[in-house]
Copies of this chain bind each other. A is one copy, B any other.
């Protein structure tokens, strides 16, 4: 896919705020003031506000040619239809692409946020130039996206990439759907914190759950705390089990990992590499990179803008 000079708006629709920016190629030209999601009574009001912002940005960048919106939930990509956003009241069965397209007169692409993050990394970030890329966003839950053979892969119901629900233990902890051994019940932020509290307690160190965020465990490990290092090793074992299964299945070029856990840097990436290598054949391992995400907060804006721009050139992007 060649780089193009299309200017597009990326909208990163989160449960807390809606972030907007204008991109050209991989460059974020401007970021607009976020819209607080809760200030709008429902889809009509919020989509109206998005359209106003786009109109304003268009006075500054008249060449804006497309809009990409990423949402935290299930989307019908082909129709740009939002099935449901569990964390945003009133967002159920919303034809976002149709409404925003009509209000702005621009082509609109709607995708989910993990796909947008993965696409940003594939097009302009850590996985640029690679062909088969699996993205993970690690936070309260664990989301994922995939670019396979150079194209975004969405699955039959646009529900692919739910890496946090994959099982790492056939008789393990139940996930949100009762699914035994769900990865995010081991390596979600809360689960890591709970596990840390337990490990510290075993060593007769009393810690509150708030003292055990990924950031604080990383700081402790950096400062030489053996228990904190051990915790990262265990997180690497769990996460590495899931990554190695995905690698056996997809034989990808790279995993790109974003979110709080990834910010622990070498503390997680070193044991994670060791674990994944120990679980793979040479053939699968030798092509594989496990990379921290290049983008952070701006990933959504850049990824959605890129999806919209590339859709103008190649509808299947």
Spell out A's residues near B (CB within 8 Å): 74, 83, 131-132, 144, 146, 148-149, 151, 153-163, 165-171, 177-181, 237-238, 241, 244-246, 248-253, 278-281, 283-284, 286-287
Most B CB contacts (10 A, CB to CB) among A132, A161, A281 go to: A281
- Nearest chain B residue, comparing its CB with the CB of A279: B179
When C-beta atoms are compared, the residue in chain B nearest to A234 turns out to be B170
Is A251 in contact with B284, judged by CB distance below 8 angstroms? no
- Residues in chain B near residue A283, CB distance under 8 A: 74, 83, 157, 159
When distances are taken between beta carbons in the complex, the residues of chain B under 8 Å from A169 are: 168-171, 181
Given A179-B280, A249-B249, A250-B160, CB of A244 within 8 Å of CB of B167: yes
Q: How many copies does the complex hold?
A: 2
Could you tell me if A153 and B161 are in contact, using CB atoms closer than 8 angstroms? no
CB pair B249–A170 under 8 Å, yes or no, is no
List chain B residues, Cβ under 8 A from A155: 132, 250-252
7 A-B pairs whose Cβ atoms sit less than 8 Å apart in the complex = A159-B283, A160-B251, A165-B248, A169-B169, A169-B171, A169-B181, A245-B245
Residues of B within 8 A of A251 (CB): 154-162
Distance of A282 from chain B, by nearest CB (Å): 9
For residue A161, which residues in chain B have a CB less than 8 angstroms away from its CB?
A: 249, 251
Query: Smallest CB–CB gap between A178 and chain B, Å?
Result: 6
Q: What's the Cα separation between A151 and B316 when bound, in Å? A: 13
Q: Are B170 and A237 in contact (CB under 8 A)?
A: yes
Contact A157 B249, CB 8 Å, known A241-B181, A278-B178, A280-B177: no
Q: Which residue of chain B has its CB nearest to the CB of A164? A: B248
CB pair B156 A287 closer than 8 Å: yes
Q: Please state if B157 and A238 are interface contacts (CB–CB under 8 Å).
A: no
- Report Cα–Cα, A146/B241, bound state, in Å: 21
- Contact A156 to B170, CB < 8 A, known contacts A180-B279, A281-B177: no
Q: A159-B251, A160-B250, A160-B251 are in contact. Are A241 and B165 (CB under 8 A)?
A: no
Taking a contact as CB atoms closer than 8 A, the residue among B177, B181, B249 that contacts A246 in the complex is: B249
- The CA of A151 and the CA of B148, in the complex, are separated in Å by 11
Contact B279 A157 (CB under 8 A): no
Chain B contacts for A244, CB-based, 8 A: 167, 179
CA distance A156 to B168 in the complex (A): 24
